[in-house]
Structure 1
Amino acid sequence: MDWGTDLWDQYDVIDKHTQSGLDLVERYIKFVKERTEIEQSYAKQLRSLTKKYTKRGGKEDQECKFSNHASFQDILNELNDYAGQREVVAETMMTGICMELTKYLQDLKYERKTHLSDAKKAQQSLEINLKQLESTKKRFAKEWGEAEKATQQAEKTESDLNATKMEVEKAKQHAHSRTHTAEECRNDYAAQLQKYNKEQNHFYYTEIPQIFNSMQNLEETRIRRLADGYCQFSEMEKSVMPIISKCLEGISAAGGKTNGKQDSLLLIEQYKSGIVRPADLEFEDYSHGIKPATSESSLLPQRVRPKLWPFSKKNKSLAAEDFSHLPPEQRKKKLQGKIEDLTRDLNKAMDQSEALDKMKGVYEQNPQMGDPSSLEPQITETAHNLGRLRGEIVKYETWLAEAVGGEESSNAINNNSQPSVLQSARGNEYEFDEFDEVETPIGQCSALYTFDGNSEGTISIIEGEQLSVMEDDKGDGWMRVLRATGEEGYIPSSYVQVNQ
């Protein structure tokens, strides 16, 4: 069964049906385009979200060493990759479906228009032949009627006794002429009828069936191409599913990598100071009498304040090369890490020196391969580098030994029940403030802003809090204050307003 055989007389139906097929292709292209826009917008929002919550730089890099922070960063990275796959889906749908179907639709419209135009031309040609047939038929009928009248008139004239011979002859010639003309019209009509029947047969049994069958093939091809587009809609999504699954598995794996115990140990390793807890304070018995005051400040009631970590304002702006600004435990780790780095550099330099020596030996044995003297600058530079690295290692090893000895000395001091006096582990390189001596505040100030004292020697203050100034700003932007709770330490000078 085909359109040319069964729908030979349904031109309008075929026209409408094929047009609805074109409309469907256009609707599907528009649908896929809107889908790609949704995918692109979704991917863009996901990328913005991951960028917003991704940490960068400074303290945040330190936090990422902890498993729960690192896992969240891994999740953000996986989500960013997931967003990339949504972009891939959008791009492949745009190129593989929208662009391909749009190009095919243009060709389809042109081919359909050509077939419909051919059908109309064939119809118009048949109608022209039919009009010519009707015209020759009418002329034949007219001429045949005139011939019959002329024949009847000739017979009437011939039977008329009063008619002359000339009149009779003339009537007969006229009748013969009209009959001859009618015969010619009859022949024209017969020939035109035969031509029309042939054209009509070709139109209904050959031309129109071929056109309609071509349109049927065109329509069936359109349906197959559209079906492929339907399948591509799913296949393109499936193509990225393995990668998306890996992203989701990565997110699950990131969640499984978190380890609370490990993070706690890491925090201890990073911030363990190595300082021994202060011993108990001795009881001072004033019932036996008060010792004579040696200064005006000694008459003030004694105030016990918590000990601060040795805090040096000189080291605040510039970190010492020997890491003396750090707590003992952290200092040891930094020095050990520095020694390990220098040792690796030393091993590399030694390998390079050995290679240069071998190369020099080869050049000396085979002068054609190179000039041994050309290696002298590199050998000299490498030897100088070796000496420098060895000196650096000795220097840091000395500092490490002093740091270890300083920690033992500090432990001994704390165990001897002298927590109020902060001693130095390395001569005068640490500047310790003896806070247990009673000091008189030199003024009062009000906190303008809240400050979180996270580093050693600093304290936290709250906006609006009243503070006692124990040491004024010496030009480095810091001042020492005392809180009502007895907590004492340094704060930025710009965070407070000194009361007049």
Structure 2
Amino acid sequence: MSWGIELWDQYDNVAAHTQKGIDFLERYGNFIRDRCAIESEYAGKLRRLVKSYMPKKKEEEDYQFSCQKAFRDVLTEVNDQAGQHEVVAENLTSAVTKEIVALVKDLKEERKKALQEGAKLQSSLNQQLSALDRAQKNYEKAFREAERAEDAYRKADADLNLSRADVEKQRINSSIKSHQCDDNKNEYAKQLQKANEIQTCHYQTSLPGVFHALQELDDKRIKQIENFIRKGVDIERSVFPIINKCLDGIIRAADSVDPEKDSRLVIERYKSGFSPPEDVPFEDLSNMRSGSVGSDSSSNGGGSGAIPSTISLTSSGILKSESKVGTLTAMKLKKRAGIFSIFNAGKEDFSDLAPNQRRKKLQQRLDEINTRLLQETATRDGLMKMKGVYEQNRALGDPLSIEGQLTESGQRLDKLRLELHKFQGYLDEAEGRVSSQTLNAPGVRTSSAMGMNGSSGGLGLRKLVGSKGSNNALTRHGGSDESLSRSASDSSVSNPNNKPSLPGTPQPTHGSSHSPESGVGSHASHTSFPDSEVERLYANAEAEIDAEEDDTLNENENEVYESELLPVLGTCRALYAFEAQSEGSIPLHEGEELFVIEVDQGDGWTRVRRNSSFEEGFVPTSYIQCTLYNTC
């Protein structure tokens, strides 16, 4: 249906309707704009919410439980959902709001042009109708004047009293008026014909064209509103898959909650490794009367009435004093243990913690050192390559400028290797002590408990022996020239005459009597327990420790002897020439082929053997290209 035919006389209403339609389009555009603002604001609030509840760095340890991890995953998914709301806002703004603004501008211009054309056509029609009205009025006036002139002429012709000249005058006047009436009539007819033609063209051709333009404008507006609504739905549907993935991620996070795993983690985190206390024996006070109080008093240095005591080693590694009538109470034991725990407080080996907690802290420390060691090794390798490039092309830089950085990197590597070896020793000690403390057989003859230190809650047998045992071990197993094994598993002391030191390998310092493992000292131990039974315990403990250390020395010697017959793991080719300047390293010639007998353990050195001889040594890993066998 056409507006030009059906609404030919409703020009003003059509113009008002189109204006209302454009106003409605602007209102819809404002709705989309405000919705985009709400979506953006909602996304921003979600992100701030996630940020406020996301665990801080100091809370990372608490978020190892499955429920906390699930909550962190939920926060991540909610943050992703916020991102999708931002995408919706951005797409609505770019694909809908901007197009609405452009469409409103175009519709206003098209409506303005159509209304101007309609106003022009209406003005032309009105002008023609005005000319027709004037012609009609002139014709009516001339017709009345012609009739009056005709009547006057007839009256004069009938009046015999008038002269012939007067009658002729009236006749001439009537003839003139009659001609004027005919002229106005012809003009009126001409204007009428022209007005009819213009009016017909106006209502059948021109004005319907204007109506058609307005109708197309309004149809375009309605169609675009439909498209905008559909486009908004498509934009929202486009993010549904990602939002569904976020929701699925939240469901997976909920499924990952494992109460049993959390319970095991609680046990692993807070387990001390100590054994529960034994039953307190009954104290029979009547037995005190049967003993010789006088002789006991004199043997203890006076008549104070003190009860003689003996020393026994419990399954938890704590020396326990037992009187003839019973044992020390828990309060006395805690006080005595607290005296010795003063010497272990604040040490870097975490000896003030429970065994399990100490082992966990040491493992974390080892992981940190290994990470730093790998980073520093990569840095050193990069500097070596840069130096090689500078040596090949002096225009790129001075090789001497890298020497200082290489020296600093080597010093840092030495320090890190020293720390790695030291903390590995701490970890080996802690693991050995934990295993000994899990045994339930008490007594000083437990072989696994002989070499263990006490925890913060008590005093171990090694600490009772004191610096004497440490000094003996240090004297028996080497001094400052002692070499260290490159792998973490060989952190025990080795024979100094069988394996040379690695280039840049730090020397051990934690095995001396001044190290954290040396304990409180023999004097402090003797003054704490002055009984004669303690002296016998010292003698037995030192004898067993010496025997155990001799066995360990023999085992290490056998291991070092067998390490000289290492199998071939692969081959390598020297990329650069290398001058051996450190003990244990061998020189390289560019392009030389060698056997690989020990791969890089993270310190930047690889152990190789020459093809033509049995010469072995360490070379920088960055200087060779290795090809390992598949069986390795």
Superposed pair shares fold, TM > 0.5? yes
Secondary structure of 1:289's counterpart equals helix
Tell me how far apart the structure 1 counterparts of residues 371 and 52 of structure 2 sit (CA, whole Å).
39
Shift of 1:48: 4.5
Please name the residue that 1:459 is paired with.
none
Q: Does 1:6 align with 2:6?
A: yes
Shift of 1:201: 1.7
Asked whether the 8 Å contact 1:323–1:331 carries over to 2, the reply is: yes
Secondary structure of 2:64's counterpart equals coil
- Per-residue deviation, residues 434-492 of structure 1 (Å, max 9, x unmatched): xxx9xxxxxxxxxxxxxxxxxxxxxxxxxxxxxxxxxxxxxxxxxxxxxxxxxxxxxxx
Shift of 1:148: 2.7
Asked whether the 8 Å contact 1:50–1:79 carries over to 2, the reply is: yes
Which stretch shows the higher mean deviation, 127-136 or 352-361? 352-361
Please name the residue that 1:245 is paired with.
244
Please name the residue that 2:492 is paired with.
none
Asked whether the 8 Å contact 2:387–2:402 carries over to 1, the reply is: yes
Tell me how far apart the structure 2 counterparts of residues 116 and 386 of structure 1 sit (CA, whole Å).
86
Please name the residue that 1:322 is paired with.
349
Please name the residue that 2:189 is paired with.
190
Q: Does 1:338 align with 2:338?
A: no
Q: Which amino acid counterpart does residue 422 of structure 1 have in structure 2?
A: G
Tell me how far apart the structure 2 counterparts of residues 145 and 283 of structure 1 sit (CA, whole Å).
154
Matched residue count: 429
Change (3 A) 1:188 1:97: same
Please name the residue that 1:422 is paired with.
458
Q: Does 1:394 align with 2:421?
A: yes
Change (3 A) 1:382 1:145: closer
Please name the residue that 1:482 is paired with.
none
Secondary structure of 2:273's counterpart equals coil
Change (3 A) 1:380 1:160: closer
Q: How does 1:221-236 map to 2 (within 5 A)?
A: 221-236=220-235
Shift of 1:30: 4.3
Asked whether the 8 Å contact 1:406–1:426 carries over to 2, the reply is: no
Tell me how far apart the structure 2 counterparts of residues 31 and 364 of structure 1 sit (CA, whole Å).
69
Tell me how far apart the structure 2 counterparts of residues 346 and 182 of structure 1 sit (CA, whole Å).
122
Q: Which amino acid counterpart does residue 56 of structure 2 have in structure 1?
A: R
Please name the residue that 2:198 is paired with.
199
Q: How does 1:155-194 map to 2 (within 5 A)?
A: 155-194=154-193
Tell me how far apart the structure 2 counterparts of residues 358 and 110 of structure 1 sit (CA, whole Å).
70
Change (3 A) 1:308 1:140: farther
Over the aligned positions, Cα root-mean-square deviation in angstroms equals 4.1
Change (3 A) 1:312 1:248: farther
Q: Which amino acid counterpart does residue 381 of structure 1 have in structure 2?
A: E
Asked whether the 8 Å contact 2:273–2:437 carries over to 1, the reply is: no
Shift of 1:121: 4.2
Change (3 A) 1:349 1:199: closer
Please name the residue that 1:498 is paired with.
none
TM-score (norm 2): 0.58
Tell me how far apart the structure 2 counterparts of residues 129 and 255 of structure 1 sit (CA, whole Å).
84
Aligned-residue sequence identity (percent) comes to 37
Q: Which amino acid counterpart does residue 384 of structure 1 have in structure 2?
A: Q
Tell me how far apart the structure 2 counterparts of residues 119 and 171 of structure 1 sit (CA, whole Å).
52
Tell me how far apart the structure 1 counterparts of residues 239 and 355 of structure 2 sit (CA, whole Å).
53
Change (3 A) 1:95 1:295: farther
- Per-residue deviation, residues 200-254 of structure 1 (Å, max 9, x unmatched): 1221122111110111111111111111111122112112112211211111121
Gaps of 5+ in 2: 298-302, 308-327, 445-453, 467-515, 521-527, 529-632
Tell me how far apart the structure 2 counterparts of residues 81 and 36 of structure 1 sit (CA, whole Å).
18
Q: How does 1:23-62 map to 2 (within 5 A)?
A: 23-58=23-58, 60-62=59-61
Which stretch shows the higher mean deviation, 360-369 or 174-183? 360-369
**Larger RCO, structures 1/2 (Cα 8 Å, 6+ apart):** 1
Q: Does 1:97 align with 2:124?
A: no
Q: Which amino acid counterpart does residue 245 of structure 1 have in structure 2?
A: N
Gaps of 5+ in 1: 432-436, 438-500
Secondary structure of 1:286's counterpart equals coil
Tell me how far apart the structure 2 counterparts of residues 7 and 30 of structure 1 sit (CA, whole Å).
32
Q: How does 1:202-351 map to 2 (within 5 A)?
A: 202-289=201-288, 304-305=330-331, 319-343=346-370, 345-346=372-373
Asked whether the 8 Å contact 2:341–2:458 carries over to 1, the reply is: no
Change (3 A) 1:35 1:307: farther
Tell me how far apart the structure 2 counterparts of residues 229 and 313 of structure 1 sit (CA, whole Å).
80
Q: How does 1:424-463 map to 2 (within 5 A)?
A: 424=460, 427=463
Which stretch shows the higher mean deviation, 389-398 or 368-377? 368-377
**Residue of structure 2 aligned with 1:377, choices 404, 409, 426:** 404
Which stretch shows the higher mean deviation, 97-106 or 366-375? 366-375
Change (3 A) 1:425 1:101: farther
Change (3 A) 1:39 1:389: closer
Q: Which amino acid counterpart does residue 186 of structure 2 have in structure 1?
A: N
Q: Does 1:154 align with 2:181?
A: no
Asked whether the 8 Å contact 1:349–1:385 carries over to 2, the reply is: yes
Secondary structure of 2:162's counterpart equals coil
Asked whether the 8 Å contact 2:340–2:458 carries over to 1, the reply is: no
Asked whether the 8 Å contact 2:135–2:187 carries over to 1, the reply is: yes
Q: Which amino acid counterpart does residue 50 of structure 2 have in structure 1?
A: T
Tell me how far apart the structure 2 counterparts of residues 25 and 317 of structure 1 sit (CA, whole Å).
80
Asked whether the 8 Å contact 1:36–1:93 carries over to 2, the reply is: yes
